[in-house]
Amino acid sequence: MSSFRRQRVVALSSTVLAVGAGLSLYTANAFSQQEERADAALNQLVHEPPTMEDLEASDLHPELKRVIRYGHDLFTNTQQLRGEYVFNDMNCSSCHLGEGRVPFSAPVWAAAITLPDFRGKNQHVNNLEERIAGCFAYSMNGTPPEYGSDEMLALSAYHQWLATGAPMYPDKPIYGRGFPAPEQPEAPSYTRGEAAYQENCAICHQEDGSGHYENGEYVFPAPWGDGSNNWGAGIARVETMAGFIYQNMPLGQPRSLTGQQAWDIAYYINSQERPQDPRYTGDVAETAERFGPTFHNRSLYGQTREHDGHVLGDHANFGEKGDTQPWNVGVPRFEHLSEE
Amino acid sequence: MKTARGSRLSLLLGACLMASTSMAQEGDIARGEEASSTCVACHQANGGGMNIPGGESWPRLAGLNADYIAKQLHDFKSGDRQNATMMTFANMLNDQQIVDVAAYYSQLPATAGQGGDNADEALLARGQQLAERGDWNAYIVSCQSCHGPGGRGVGKTFPGIAGQHSGYIAAQLNAWKNEVRSNDPQNLMGAIAKRMSEEDIQAVSAWYATQPSAEGEATQ
């Protein structure tokens, strides 16, 4: 609960900052030093992760460099795991833009310096590998590589290396963490969202939200449908999607849409169907209720779509993964400590 | 407003299908070849164009998406894309001839890009980085995130840039940067070009000039 509240605070100050600094942040350097910036008074942790060029120039062990390079490759081309661990059209970098380094695009190094920590979504303490495993089960609509496997070790090595030099368990809020949502002047509207989506997003993501393949190669991710994340992914929450859109879309033009447009588009996108939540009990209302307080209270899962009466998530379509059940979902931990 | 959106959606649908194939049904290749007599002086009989160091390079048209070519010709006519030379020549073509020449050039085998051969290794490495990964510190997204894997183009909207001449690519990026060209959808290219340094532009232009314009095709 308290971690939610802290995120809210960061989101709020980041929004203020976004309004103040605007696009100028990105024209010079997305990571410009804290003292050079208008937000210095916010006293946040600003971290500029190393680049792949920095990796080559570093004196890390050549074997470690190889593993970090593999982690980077998995992160930016996660489709190489398609059919084994990934069952939709997404890459990690579809949502974590800029190779997971960029502020306001949920930079992934933040996980490496804040975990292990309690996670509201699954109600226990998660480490970095378990957090990454969550992405496989929900955002990638798949099932994770085993803890300690080559893939998992390489991905976590990449995360941790991106955090090079950042303090563990920082005592300041992290600049650019997550997808801070903009302010919402009015309640989101499906109709306005549809119009704004067709106007601003469809040229790449297509009118029907199916994304785009060119000559069989994946180019633009699918915002909904079987190629997209399932109902249990963080971005299925309207607030998170609104933040992602506002801070990152259209590609290359962060914060060019109004906050209202971002909320409307997010509401429209998250009112479309996608693969079932792997926590599905067999009944959408029951699932929505059971995971409401920890998750679905902020998604539209289980709600009735106004214009056609469709109940969102009321289906047994798990997408391409079929009846593959991600092994990490619904596994409690540290139960023997719960008496203390 | 509604009509504009409707027509754009139908065009988008067209892009989902093989755009060049669907265009070819409307455009007539034989008629296009005939009409292309006004184009060959610069764009060459094989549609390969020419890289002209220090001058105005003539782009390769061979193998480009037909809808993309047609849109550019319409934009030259209307002034949405500004180029004095091309405005003159585009004005010689009527709407049918535009569709025809677009169909003709789109089916010509793509030729190799010119102008990247003398670039040094460091410049090409920077070009490859921008093409494949971008430079997010400057919020320059990778070229291939829109122009597709290998920079070979995506649908009718994002043209193939691999195997294009370096002089032409550089001139266009500079045109976007300096707001001389702005006929891209939603300022998608303009926003990026403005963040690119002169060296970035030279690097990425040289890199794509050395890259194959179609999968599996030799560079030279």
* Angle, helices B19-26/B95-106, rounded to nearest 10 degrees: 140
Residues of A in contact with B141 (CB under 8 A): 97-98, 251-252
Element (H, E) at A2: helix A2-21
What sign does the dihedral A139-A144-A145-A148 (CA atoms) show? positive
| Chain B contact present for A264, CB below 8 A | no
Q: What tokens were used for A55?
A: 């990796």
Pairing mode, strands A217-220 and A117-119: unpaired
Q: Map residue A125 onto helix, strand or coil.
A: strand
Beta strands in chain A (DSSP E): 117-119, 124-126, 212-214, 217-220
Q: Check if A32 contacts B (Cβ < 8 Å).
A: no
Structure confidence by residue, pLDDT tens digits, B74-122: 999 999 999 999 999 999 999 999 999 999 999 999 999 999 999 999 9
Half-sphere exposure (Cβ direction) of A95: Cα atoms closer than 13 Å = 24
A216 touches chain B (CB under 8 A): no
Question: What is the spatial distance between Cα B152 and Cα A84, in angstroms, rounded to a whole number?
Answer: 28
* A79 at B interface, C-beta within 8 A: no
Q: Would you call A316 an interface residue with chain B, using a CB distance cutoff of 8 Å? A: no
ipTM computed for the complex: 0.85
Contact present, A144 and A132 (Cβ < 8 Å)? yes
CB pairs under 8 A between A and B: 82
Chain B contact set for A248 (CB, 8 A): none
In this structure, chain A runs to a length of 340
Q: In sequence order, what are the beta bridge partners of A118?
A: A125
Q: Considering the entire predicted model, what is its pTM?
A: 0.88
Chain B hits for A99, Cβ within 8 Å: 133, 136
**For A206, nearest residue in chain B (alpha carbons):** B12
pLDDT digits (tens, 9 = 90+) for A140-170: 999 999 999 999 999 999 999 999 999 999 9
Distance CA B105, CA A313 (A): 48
Would you say B215 and A215 are in contact if contact means Cβ atoms under 8 Å apart? yes
Cβ pair A199:B138 closer than 8 A: no
pLDDT band with cut points at 50, 70 and 90 for residue B26: confident
Interface of B with A in 106-165 (CB under 8 A): 129, 133-134, 136-139, 141, 145-146, 148-149, 152-155, 157
- Whether A215 contacts chain B with CB within 8 A: yes
Sort strands A124-126 and A212-214 into parallel, antiparallel or unpaired. Answer: unpaired
Q: What is the CB-side half-sphere exposure of residue B162 using CA atoms within 13 A?
A: 24
Q: How many CB atoms lie within 10 A of CB A170?
A: 14
Instruction: Decide the pairing of beta strands A217-220 and A212-214.
Output: antiparallel
